[in-house]
Every structure is written in C-alpha cells, then in structure tokens.
Amino acid sequence: MLLDSTERSQQEEFDVYFQSAPPEETHAVSGDHYKLCEFEAINTAREMIKQDFAGLTIRLLIEAGFGEDSENVAEQVMNGETVQANAAPCPFHMSNIYTYYRSFKGIRSYQCLLISAPGIGDNDERKRREEEMENFCCQAFPAKHFDRARRQEMILRREVSNSKDVENFVGDFFCRQEGVRAKNAIHAIIVFFGHGSPKGFVVGKEHIDLNKITLLVKEKSKRALLEPPGQLPVKVEIIFTQCYAHLHNEAVMNDRFRVTAFTTHERWVTYSILDEDGKFAIKELTKYATESLQKEVDEMVKWQSSDQAGFVDLSTGDKPTNENLPNKPADK
C-alpha cells in the first residue's frame, strides 16, 4: 500500500504493496499511476455491481414472461433504456423491472463522515473545526461539480466528546440503511478533525489510540461487505488531520483500505491557517484535497457523465415494490 506519499514528488518512485501479491513482490510506481490504478479499480467494481443488479433484473423479467430474451432486455434496462410490454392488461407493472436500475443509480461515488472533536466547552475551537470541515468539502468536491445540496447528500458531520461517540458514529456510518452511508459509496471516506497526541486522537479527556480507530473502521467495513451488493464500499479511506497522525500501524492497509496521515516522525505537527475569506483551513489537508482527491473526483465525474445519456426518469407512474431490494438506496 502507498506509504507517506504526501511529501514525495510526483516524479519520485516508491514501493506499493498490493494485497493480492506475495509479500516478496513489490512494484515501483509513481503517485499519479497509483491513483490511476485506484480509479480503474473503482470503475471495475462499479461495473461488477451493475452486472449483479442486471442478474437480479433478469430474474424479474423471467417472472414477467420475457423468456429467453430476458438477458438482452435486462441489459437495455440497466443501460437506462425504456422498455414497454405490449399487453393489455399487462400482468406485470413494467416499472417494477427498474427496481435494481434505481438501486444502481442510487449508488454514490463518495460518501464522507467528518468527525470533529473540539475542546470541551470551547466555542471558538468549535467554530474553527466547522470552518476546517467546510473548507475540506469545498476543496475536495468543488462547486463546478457539487452544489451545496449535492454535498449534503454525501457529507455526514458528527461532533464527538468521548471514545464511545467515535465508536457509535463510525458504526452508524457503515450500518445505517438510508441517508449518507458507507454502504451506498464506491469510495467511503472518514476524516478526523481535532487534536492529536503521542497517545492518539484527543476526544474530551480521552486519548484514543489510532490503531483502535483503524481496526474499528476496518472491522465495520468488512461487516458491510457481507451485505448485498457485496462490493460496496469498494474503497475505505481514513484521513487523520491531527498532530502525531503517523502513529498508526501501517500493516492495516491494503488495496481496499487506506490510512492517510500528514505527519512523520521528523515532522509531527499539522496546523491550520486563515484562508482568503478569513476562515480556517488545515494546510496539509488543503494540499491533499486539491492535488489528490480533487483530481480523482474530476476523473470520476467525467466518467460518470458519459454514462448518463440514456437515464430514464421514472419519478412518475407506477412505483416499484421494494420487497426484493437488498438495500434501500439513499434519497436523491
């Protein structure tokens, strides 16, 4: 897995370990190439999910009497084409065959959980954390692609004051059935805002060991994969923005699970500065959001836009029954 890439130049090469490769095999690649591999993996998984839903659609079509042509019709349905049966009265509500098409369209590229731990009773710090979170959202998901309403569909903010809060909110992010949730994401991101110490992430009077956090998130993400569709979330990323963020076990990372930290043993401090609007932003997070995440977002939006030409608007007419839905998609 990519280690400490934020301070390396784009031209420099470094070792990347993939979970599927034997431990003795390494591949030296540039940071840009690694991001490209990650992007391709996400796209591949999205197509796999589409095929899974297509298979479920085929079953619905067989029940509706489409017979041996069900596979071809399912492909048309999942590509957003309109299909109508020439029967009167129709024994099957045609809108029902779009059940899994709607589920597929309900999948989001990104779902983010932002966890903030300001000092207890410190309103000035609470305001600073809110500004830091807002700046991250605007930088990683720029207005040219995401208006405020769309960001609200992908960003979940939670303030914590103890370790139990962190555990509860992370668990909720992975198991909740509607709204902003990891299970509806191709790339699920959890960002921690607050103070760090050599003992971990500071919440109230507690210091949570970073390995406890990473193992908690990894356990919850594994459980989420057991729920259909099994590929979601494809990628899970923890971003630690606090000081001493490098003090976690890097062995936890693999090709689906990444921990991003902005400190090293030599430079263990992160800091916030006022932006041109007089609001606080975390210096290192800004660099990561604009130079790394935003590039991935741009590519993802461009790719998705090419897949929207045949989108079917089924907001009117018969509504599908949701009995067979594996998960209720988030509201659009």
Of the candidates 26, 27, 34, the one whose C-alpha atom is nearest the C-alpha of residue 5 is 34
Q: Which two tokens stand for residue 186?
A: 């191709």
Distances (CA, A) of 169 to 139, 165, 166, 227, 332: 24, 6, 5, 19, 22
What pLDDT does 321 receive? 38
Average pLDDT, the chain: 79
Of the candidates 189, 161, 179, the one whose C-alpha atom is nearest the C-alpha of residue 297 is 189
**Residue 140 to residue 189: CA distance in whole angstroms:** 11
β-strand pairing of 185-194 with 235-240: parallel
What pLDDT does 21 receive? 36
State yes or no: pLDDT of 331 exceeds 70.
no
Residues 318-328 have a mean pLDDT of 38
CB 236 within 8 A of CB 198: no
Q: For 291, which DSSP code? A: I
What pLDDT does 122 receive? 79
β-strand pairing of 196-197 with 200-203: antiparallel
Give 277-320 pLDDT, tens digit per residue: 899 999 999 999 998 888 877 777 766 665 554 444 444 333 33
Residue 39 belongs to what H/E stretch? helix 31-63
If one counts every other C-beta atom within 10 angstroms of the C-beta of residue 66, the result is 19
Residues 197-206 have a mean pLDDT of 95
**Residue 332 to residue 330: CA distance in whole angstroms:** 6
Give 113-161 pLDDT, tens digit per residue: 999 999 867 789 999 999 999 999 999 988 878 888 888 889 999 999 9
If one counts every other C-beta atom within 10 angstroms of the C-beta of residue 9, the result is 9
What pLDDT does 210 receive? 98
Of the candidates 2, 55, 54, 53, the one whose C-alpha atom is nearest the C-alpha of residue 31 is 2
What pLDDT does 159 receive? 96
Which domains are assigned to the chain?
A: 1-106 (no CATH), 108-305 (3.40.50.1460)
Q: Can you say whether the dihedral through the CA atoms of 96, 97, 100, 103 is positive or negative? A: negative
What pLDDT does 81 receive? 87
What 3-state DSSP class applies to 299? helix
Give 2-46 pLDDT, tens digit per residue: 333 333 333 333 333 333 333 343 333 344 554 556 667 667 777
The residue that leads in pLDDT, 213 or 316, is 213
| Band of pLDDT at residue 212, cut at 50, 70 and 90 | very high
The residue that leads in pLDDT, 267 or 230, is 267
What pLDDT does 200 receive? 97
CB 256 within 8 A of CB 245: no
Peptide bond into 228 cis (omega under 30): no
What pLDDT does 63 receive? 83
| Band of pLDDT at residue 247, cut at 50, 70 and 90 | very high
**Residue 196 to residue 248: CA distance in whole angstroms:** 12
What pLDDT does 244 receive? 97
Amino acid identity of 30? Answer: S
State yes or no: pLDDT of 257 exceeds 50.
yes
What pLDDT does 51 receive? 85
